[in-house]
Structure 1
Amino acid sequence: ATAVQVCTQGIVEGPKAFGRIAKETNNWLDAHGYSSLDEIRGITIKHMENIKENNYMTVPPKVELDKCVGCGICKIVCGYKAIEIEKKKAVIDIERCFGCGVCTSKCPTKALSIPR
């Protein structure tokens, strides 16, 4: 995982995430015969040469306006600066949103959700 992904998990799970990630990573490396992350970093690239398009889809969260209280926590945790608070409600800029879901995990009123 990149530093950004690890940081995001820390936001979602709290500081205990870092110890868990380190332990699980070491266990996985041992189980698969690797001694360090350097041995596997970039290993997928050679398998992706034939892929012409992105294989993911960005899905921005939906805001349930009746639940949103405009607290701004979603705006604070959004690393993509895709959320603004307008008229005491969260507004998602779908052009900037990457669909990571951090905002949905931190919303105290559960006003944000990613459609499936």
Structure 2
Amino acid sequence: IMLVSVTERTREIGIRLAIGALEREVLLQFLIEAMVLSSFGGLVGIALATAASLALAHAMQLPYLFNLQINLVAFFFSAALGVIFGYFPARRAARLNPIEALRHE
């Protein structure tokens, strides 16, 4: 997803670099974006899993147990995956040549 985002926003990145943005600022922008997207996905996943667990516990007449530690691990794992898999597209964005990026359509 991040690679597609970088490709679609090549001109925007070129403009930012041309007006003086540092490579690390562009890298950080895309890393934060990847982390936020994956964290949001993790929260949605945790919410859906909790709802499914509640429904199953009720249907099977079992007590529902919510484990905060497991949910926190799942959340931080999703955020970490966002950073890991967002790094290479972010690095590619940061290393774009501004002139070539502005010519990109």
TM-score for the superposition, normalised by structure 1: 0.25
- Which structure carries more helix by proportion? 2
The higher radius of gyration belongs to 2
- Which structure carries more strand by proportion? 1
